[in-house]
Amino acid sequence: MLWSKVISFALVSLALAHLQTALQEESFSACPANFTQVGEKCLMVDSMWKTWYEADRNCRSLSAGLVSVENSVQLKLIQDWLPIAAQYTLEFWTSGNSLGSPGKYFWQNTGSSATYLPWATDQPKTDAGDCLTLYANYSMATGEFVIDVHRLRVNNCTLWAKSICEIEPKAYKTLVCLNSSAFYEAQIPV
């Protein structure tokens, strides 16, 4: 009888010594490499000049899409981020277009109708094209290069501009595990 208790105790002790136990669980989100979290989106400026079609294909090759601007809060966050990410750049492709529906704009990467359209001065000019860029006017009146805020502008999809790719932040769960000789921290995609 004593022998069976000793063996049971030894087996339980051995199992506990090698068992990894999750002590703490924490969730967070992060952007992929080369993307920056701006509000609830991860954004990346592509500094290469491309047509709208090339820019869209490039973003998709990164499992992302061209940026969409769905409200004034998103626009303000993007406008605050652009001078840091792409100083002195005046124009960027967005996912906005009216391809197939002249005069009616959609966000390509979400498929939703573009209801928030913060137009640049003298826009929209529907005869200028079918794709939307974020465009900023500039001035050198003070002797310095001064860029205005970026607003939407209709442009020909075959012209060249830089672009902004967007992707949702990836959710992760952090587990802290303990065993007999050390503890480990693992970040697991959710």
Pick left, alpha or beta for residue 24 (phi over 0 → left; psi -120 to 50 → alpha; otherwise beta). Answer: beta
pLDDT computed for residue 4 by the predictor: 63
- For range 163-179, the mean pLDDT: 83
Most distant CA pair in the chain, distance = 97
Looking at 3.40.640.10, 3.90.1150.10, 3.10.100.10, 3.40.50.450, the CATH number of the domain 40-167 comes to 3.10.100.10
pLDDT band at residue 148, thresholds of 50, 70 and 90? confident
pTM: 0.77
Average per-residue pLDDT for the chain: 85
Which pLDDT band, with edges at 50, 70 and 90, does 20 fall under? very low
Mean pLDDT to the nearest integer, 51-66: 97
Residue 23 confidence (pLDDT): 44
Residue 21 has pLDDT above 60, yes or no: no
Give the contacts of 37 (CB within 8 A, at least 6 positions apart): 29, 30, 31, 43, 169
